[in-house]
Chain A
Amino acid sequence: MATKVAFEFDPFELVGRDKGDATREQRREILDQVADFVLESVLSDVGESRSPVTGRNFKKLDSDYAKQKRSEGGTPVANLLLGGDLLDSLLVRKKGEKLILTVSEDQMGKADGHNNFSGDSPLPRRQFVPEEDETFRPAIRAGIEAIIDDVLGG
C-alpha cells in the first residue's frame, strides 16, 4: 500500500493566529475560502514548476523524458502533468475545523513518487504537499492570513 501523501492543517495555527477571535460562522467562512485558495495556489505553483512548499523551482526534466512527454501530447516541462490524473485528483477537504491537502487514493503512489514521503522514491523530489513538520511557502501563508484578516475585519 502506498504511503499516504497528505497535509492536515488548521489555517489559524498555520499563520499563528488566535481562533478565539472568530465566531463559528467566520471560522466556517475562513475554512471555505482557505480551501479554495490553497488548492488554486498549489496548482498555480506546480503549473510554473515551483514547489508550493519550498518556493524553489522543480528540477528540470531529463532530455529523454522531455522528448517522451512531448511525443505523448504533454508540454516538456516539470509541471507534473502528463495525462493530468494526478493534479485532477488534488483536493483540499474539510475535517472538522482543519483542512487536508491530499490526492485521491488511486493517485497516492504517483504523489509519493514526486513528494517522497516514504523515502523510497527514485525520482527527483518535486514536492507539492508539505510534510507534517513543514508548511507552505511565505506567499501562500500571507494569502491565508489576508483571508483571515478580511473575514474578521469585514
Chain B
Amino acid sequence: MPITTKVNKADFSKIIERLNVLKSPIDRATASEIGEEVVAEMRDLISKGISPIAGNGRFPRYKDPKKYPRRQKPNTPVNLKLSGDFQEALTYSVKSSKSGFKTEIFYGGASVEDKKESGHRKGSDGTSRTSRPTIPQGSESFAERIVRIFSRIYRDRVSSI
C-alpha cells in the first residue's frame, strides 16, 4: 500500500541548510573561541610550570637560575618567564580548512619568540632534562586539560546546529 506524506518546503530547505553546515561545522567564530581559550589555558599552565603537552607533567628544573640577569628568575615555578615577552607572543590565527575553519597556535610578533620556543624545545644541553617544549609537534598532543577545552567547544557547536 503506498504511503503518502506531506513535506513543508520551507522546513525541507532548513534541513538541507543544516546538513550542509554539518559538513563543515567549525565556523570562524568557533575557531576563534578555541584559539582564545586554548592560548589562555596554555599561558596559565606554563605560568605554573606545567607543560601544555600531554604526558610531560611539570617542566624540568632550571639547571642554574642564578645565571639570569640580576638573579631575577625564581627557582620555582619553572615558568619560562624572564621579561614576559615569550608568553605574550603566544597567539593564534584562524584559517579556512576542509572542516570550515581551523585554529593555529604559534608564537607571533618578532621571530625571536619562535627561536625561544625552539630553544626551549632543544634544551640548553640538547637533552630531555632541559627540554621544555610548549607547542605540540609530530606525534605530540596537547595536555588533557587543553583537549577538554576544544572538545567542549566543538561539542557545543555541533549541538547548536
Contacts and interface: CB of A to CB of B under 8 A. Distances in A.
Nearest to B147: A33
B145 A83 contact: no
Given A40-B45, A73-B65, A47 B77 contact: yes
Give the one of B50, B61, B65 with max A CB within 10 A: B50
B77 A75 contact: yes
A33 B54 CA distance: 9
B144 A147 contact: yes
A143 B47 CA distance: 21
Interface string B51-73: 00011011001000110000000
Interface string A13-55: 0000000000000000000010011011101100110000000
A147 B148 contact: yes
Query: Contact residue range for chain B?
Result: 20 to 34
30 contacts: A36-B55, A37-B144, A40-B50, A40-B57, A40-B143, A44-B44, A44-B45, A44-B48, A47-B47, A47-B48, A72-B75, A73-B74, A73-B76, A74-B74, A75-B74, A81-B49, A82-B75, A83-B75, A84-B49, A84-B58, A84-B76, A84-B77, A88-B58, A88-B61, A90-B57, A143-B145, A146-B152, A147-B144, A150-B151, A150-B155
